[in-house]
Every structure is written in C-alpha cells, then in structure tokens.
Structure 1
Amino acid sequence: MKFKNIFLVALLVVILWACNSDDNGVTIEPPKALSETVDQDKDSIVEYLETHFYNYEEFQSPPADFDYKIVLGKIEGDNADKTPLIDMMETETVTVRSEEIGLSSGKEVEHTYYYLVARQGLGVKSTSVDSVYVRYEGLLLDDTVFGASSASPTWFDAAGLKAPGSLSFGSLQKSARGFSEIMQYLKAGGDPVVNADGTFEIVDYGVGLIIFPSALGYYSGNGPNGNIPSYSPMIFKIDLMAVNEADHDNDGVPTHLEDLNGNGYLFDDNTDLKSENSSTSIATVPDYLDTDDDNDGILTRDEISDEDGNIILPYPDTDGDGVPNYLDPNN
C-alpha cells in the first residue's frame, strides 16, 4: 500500500521547529537558514583539508602487512612535509533545498563535498542509491569519532539515507546524505575468499574518504545517538565490500534509473505527481517507490516486459516521442 506524502513528515518537523518556547518558557532557537551555514561549513572543511593528510604513501607502495585503512593525521612535526588533503581530494557540488532538511523557506543552496578514492576496488561499481555492504568510521572535524561499524561490515540502503527531513519514513531512515555520495566513486571487492574454517573474507574492496557540510549530514539535529553537534560537517572513511543493484519497488527499473533529472536525489522525481495530487485516494510517491510510474493503471513492470515477463531493453516507446511507455500515460 502506498504511504501518504512523505513530505508531510518534513512539514511536521517544520511545525515543531516553529514553536519558539516549551512548557517551561525556555526559548528554542529556530534552525538556521542554509545560507547562514554553507560558507561557514566550507571554511571549516577547507581549513581541515589544508592541515591534515592521510597515509597516501602506504597506499602508493603497500607494505606486506598493510591493512588498507585510511589513517588521518595533522601536518606538523615529523609530518610537516606531508601533502595536504586539499591537494589530493576531488570535489562535487550538489543543490540542497531547504525542505529536504525540514526547513520551509524554499531556498536552494549549492553545497560542495570533497572525496578521495584511496583504492578503487576490483568488483562491481556502485551508485549512490544502491544497497551497499560497507565498513565505516565517522568523524567530526576535531577528529572525534562519533560512530563506526563493528569488525563486520554492515548493509545500508543508500537511497533511504537520503530521505528528506530528520525523521524516519517507515523503512526509510534519514541519515547523512553525504554518506551515500561516496559510493558512486568506488567499486566493491572481488569474490569472497572462503577460509578453511568456513569463514570468508572480501579482498580488493574499494576504500574512500568523504567530507561534507552539515546540510548533507544531520544539520540542526544531533544524529541517531545525539552525539553530533548541530551544524557539524562530517567525515566518513568507507570500505565498500559488496553492492546489490537496487530496485526498491521491484518494477523492473533499477533505482538509479529512476533518478530522471540525474541529481542523485530520488525524492524530486515523480512522473505522475500532477495526477496523484488531483486524486483523493492515491498518495504522492517518488518514482523509485511507485509501481505505476505514470499512473495509467498499468504496472510499470508490465509496460516494460514481454509476454513471458522478460524485461525489454531499451524500454518500449510506442509513439517514438523519446518517453518510454512506463513514463508516458498516453501509451
């Protein structure tokens, strides 16, 4: 069953934030506007990148016992001659809309994140919306570790981590959107190696680092354990072990292809938004969670499959207008 407009939850957050005092008369500060934090975050990140390095020499010439873990350090003392991160990391800019983080002003502000591929990996390439099996460590810019996976990697739904607002939507748990962005630059490891005792290990996995502003993290929230200060840029070290291509609604169209505008954010892609809004019985649902993307009464999977249920590639476009049938309510 489709759930009601996911953005209603974000609206609830805005309403709660709009209250300026609690029952005891204590003033509650409203969240800052994106325009207030973006430059401050960037300055803090750049300062970190200019004063820190990672163990790039070990990655360039791995010693026999190297564990392929990223180690960060300050450029000082014996390490005064190290190459700073600012000279080694790549950048990407994404647009963040206020409503994505529970604000109501409707502003769109560009934010820059910084990423490093220390080792590409030899397996399947990921996207930022797939199911990923990772080992990670999260840090603040003062090098405080606020979270990490255990010795065993953990599966994450990278798409769900980008959910708008600061609450969960059923199985979609809002987390740090920036955490998902690094995945698209890495590849998984090779086939698992089975040990004599029946255990297995994955080798040649992708290793990366990403640093991003607070709007791609928890912004004015405190994170899942309340241990991340408001407006904190975040650092994640990532080991990408395995990838499963995601198809969240099982409609035959991989989730990454349901990002129609190509901005890496799935919640603003809704082909049948107009017809859903005009209906009293159909909720508004982004394409990647919608089994009938054009709301024409024919399931998406049926519109892209032959009589035997095999997916037809390229997807059928009966009238040749460049819009495949499953996105075209007229076909």
Structure 2
Amino acid sequence: MARPTPLGDADVLLLDLDGVVYRGRSAVRHASEALEAVRGRGVPIGYITNNASRTAATVAEQLVGLGMPARPDDVVTSPQAAVRLLADRLPAGARILVVGGDGLRSVVLEAGFVLAESADDTPDAVVQGFSPDLGWKDLAEAAFALADPERLWVATNTDWTIPVDRGIAPGNGTLVSAVHAAVGRLPLVAGKPETPLFETAVERFGAQRPFFVGDRLDTDIRGANAAGMPSALVLTGIDGPKQVLAAGEPDRPTYLLADLRGLLEPYPEVRLRGDGVQVGKAVARVRGTALEVVRAGEPIDLLRAAAAAIWNSGVSVYALGVPDEVLRLTASLR
C-alpha cells in the first residue's frame, strides 16, 4: 500500500511566501512546478504573509511574474487579519490611527473605518504595521494615542527582522517594541505566530482541512500548531537542520520537506528501531551525550531521523554532540 503524502486530503494549501515560494526576487527552485501539480489535484492555494507594507494585489502581481498564477483574493495579509481584529471589537465608522504604509491604510478604509490623522483626533484604536518610511514622529504619535490605557492597539505582526536586498533589517517587532517601551503595554497581534492570520485564511477559503507550509519554526510552524492545522517545514528558507534539531514542541512541524515537491511525494514512516529511529534507510540515535548516525540514507531522511531521535530523547540538542554531516545537510537538499 502506498504511503500517504503530506498534503493528503487537504482542501486548501496555505503557503508562507519568502523562503517558501520565492527568495527575494527569484522563485524558489521547484516551487512553480510543485504548485502546478497541487492545482492539478484541484486543491486551492492561498498565500499568507506577515508583510504589512505591500497590498495583496502587489503580492499577486509578483507571483504571476514568477510563473505562479495568483489573484489578489488568493493572498491573505497581516493587515487584513488586523482589520478583522478591529472589526470584531469596533463598529464601522470608528476612527483608526494607522501607523504604517499605504497597504495598511487601504484595508482599514475598505473595512469602513475612518482614518485619524493624529492622536489629537481621539482615535478609537491604533493599528501598527511595517513601512520603511516610518520615523520617530510616527512612533511618538502612536505613543501619544496609547497614553489612554483603554484605547485598542493592534499590531499586524511582531517579526523582529525583515529581509531586504542589502541583508537583514529591523522588522515591525522592533518598532512595536519601541512603542511598548513608551506606553508599558503590548498590542493584540494579528500575524504569525498568533492565530488571527491563519483564521482569516481559513475563513477566506471556507476550509475544513487546511494544510500550511512555512520556512520558519518560531513564526510559521508555531502559528500553524496554535491554529490546530498540520504543517510542513521546507528547508528552502530561513531555518535549517540546526534549528530543526533544537525545536521545542510548539515549533515542531508535522512534516519535514526538502522543498515543495515533497507535498505530493509519499512520506516515509518514522520507525523506532531499538535505541534508534529509522526513516527510509537513514538511522540515527541518541547515545549518552552524542547524536550518532548509524546509517546516513537520503539527506532529508537523515534529518527526519535525527530530529525524531532528539525530540524523543528528552535531551536538548545543546547538550549533545551533533555530527557535521547532519548540520550541513541544507546545502545538499536545495
């Protein structure tokens, strides 16, 4: 009997973007062909992103340019999830101070809210999202408005970093932290790893059996686990073997995949073999203060076996010696 595939009987495939579908301005290798195969199975595809600086239409346009058919409605953004939080708590016509870019302002207006220009307009809420044009005056205005402890504060996301062409730059989390330091409280958060973004996506597609794929354990996978949906980590983005082996229970994916092609490939069984774990032909075990590779097998299967061995051992990876052949797997998997 053929083993089941990770995608299984999912009725929607939800994907993070950067590191899963594209990296910077280029498509991730094999992503387009894999998603075409998913569409061939009749499974809808949704893209969910914490990035609050771009509109859904802009994201869809980029995807189309990379050979991945997408409509704006296929893209679910953290500003959309943030507005959902506002709409659950405030009536239409409420006055919102937006600390962010045009992508955030546009969805606030589309939801029937009114834009406040400053704290002096006595807004009903503050919503904060990333924009590269934000400055001290914008953050100060948010702090002035939030001096009222009853005023609602929603953040699109709290990602500490954001990838840009020149490298890794401070993300919305750092800007939220600056306001937090001034006002002494924390916002409601819409984006990953919190669940509103996932819930907005499930509602958008009317899904009963969603499946999520991401490349970061502490945001993507933690969020999917919190939302109660199965997930896969692909090794084409941020997190690699070292992070996988160190993952705590809230951050452990249901599946580990080299790339998106693995969604439709039979997934090997994880088997306990004496004091070791076997996946495919790969066998790994924890013995004393070391992770031992008994048999290497395929690179992705070795990582799966090593991760299961460590996760089942109750021993932190930081207390173990780990062979270089496991830690250097990412390059061979891409």
Task: Normalising by structure 1, report the TM-score.
Answer: 0.28
Give 1 or 2: higher helix fraction.
Answer: 2
